[in-house]
Amino acid sequence: MKSWLPALALLSVGACSESPSGTVVDAGLVPDVTTTDVGAADAPVEVDAPVAADAPVGPVDAGSAADVSPAVARLIAERPYRLVVPEENVPTRAAPLLILLHGYGASGSVQELYFRMSREANTRGILYAIPDGTLDVTMRRFWNATDACCNFGSSAVDDVAYLDAIIDDVSARYAVDPRRIFLIGHSNGGFMAHRMACARSARIAGIVSLAGATYADAARCTPSEPVAVLQVHGTNDATIQYTGGNNIGAAYPGAATSVSRWATNNRCAATPTAGAMLDLESALPGAETRVERYEGCTGGAAELWSIQNGVHLPALAAQWPTLTLDWLMAHPKPAR
């Protein structure tokens, strides 16, 4: 493994069991534009934890093109994404939107194998978008997130614009609740979730970042509105260190600092209070995850779940989708 690629989030795929719930479409498909679901073979495999997997299903034609701007249509045509539509979707009822952001070297499909969000999203009536980052010079997928992760080849790709385009495209195809647009990401995807919260705070209600971080320089994150931020991090993470570190000359803050920055942005209390312990890691005994939340926020939220002795790829317990979606759904934007 090359030493200049420290922020890897490569997943080991276990035995497949069931397909994601809901109808899966490849949004943005137009004539002469093709897309494939990138599976486990698109990156080398590093094993930090076993992965219980749901198998991805094949693409279904998305139908007519969405009524979006030419710029958005071009981005979606160039970079199609998968969209899981709830089985009970009601066209006249605004639904939440969740966007999954994979780790460095993984893909959207592989990340879903790890996070297993589709069944719970379907049950709750959540529109669930699964995009891919672009390929870097080493042919690994990445998001151009913060300066610390993970644009190692200095690509000019604008992933903020791309994720904006996905929100626009889904909103043109289905009724999306603008108060409940959420992101969940791992490692590089967690960094990207933080960047979107900084850059698009008027649009993003909340994020969950597993093993990601915000900018080291607080001046680079100036949200115009509060955002609900949940940082989840293993205290023994050797890839993206719990206490902060450095990637290719660019620093990133530790988990507690990332959350305290958002507590400041959201005008919360100065110090966090402890919550009930959680069981997030199936390979560790008991309820191993310490919860700390900042109270009294004027908007949004700021919360840290620290997996004691957890690593970069924790063996996520079966309740991971339920707990994270419970948290996100409890933090919509206020009514305007």
Condensed to tens digits (0 to 9), the pLDDT of residues 24-80 reads: 655 543 222 223 232 222 232 222 223 333 333 333 333 346 799 999 999 999 999
- pLDDT of res. 149: 97
In a domain, residue 18? The reply is: no
Summary mean pLDDT of the chain = 85
DSSP category for residue 278: B
User: Would you list the DSSP string of 151-180?
Assistant: -TT-----HHHHHHHHHHHHHHHS-EEEEE
What is the bridge-based pairing of β-strands 250-253 and 289-293? unpaired
Provide the pLDDT confidence category of residue 336 given band limits of 50, 70 and 90. confident
- pLDDT of res. 65: 60
Return the CATH number at 213.
3.40.50.1820
Q: Which residue has better confidence, 18 or 235?
A: 235
Domain limits for position 141? 23-329
DSSP category for residue 302: E
In a domain, residue 8? The reply is: no
Number of domains in the chain: 1
- pLDDT of res. 221: 98
Provide the pLDDT confidence category of residue 23 given band limits of 50, 70 and 90. low
Whole-angstrom distance, CA of residue 283 vs CA of residue 204:
33
Q: Which residue has better confidence, 1 or 134?
A: 134
Condensed to tens digits (0 to 9), the pLDDT of residues 82-117 reads: 999 999 999 889 999 999 999 999 999 999 999 999
Q: Which residue has better confidence, 15 or 95?
A: 95
In a domain, residue 320? The reply is: yes
Q: Which amino acid is at 106?
A: A
In a domain, residue 336? The reply is: no
Other Cβ atoms less than 10 A from the Cβ of 274: the count is 9
* DSSP-assigned beta bridge partners for residue 252: 245
CA 58 to chain centre: 22
% of the chain exceeding 70 in pLDDT: 81
In a domain, residue 280? The reply is: yes
What is the bridge-based pairing of β-strands 95-101 and 289-293? unpaired
In a domain, residue 292? The reply is: yes
Name the nearest CA neighbour of 88 among 42, 122, 40, 130: 122
Whole-angstrom distance, CA of residue 120 vs CA of residue 128:
10
In a domain, residue 6? The reply is: no
Task: Identify the three-state secondary structure at position 323.
Answer: helix
In a domain, residue 258? The reply is: yes
Whole-angstrom distance, CA of residue 331 vs CA of residue 113:
26
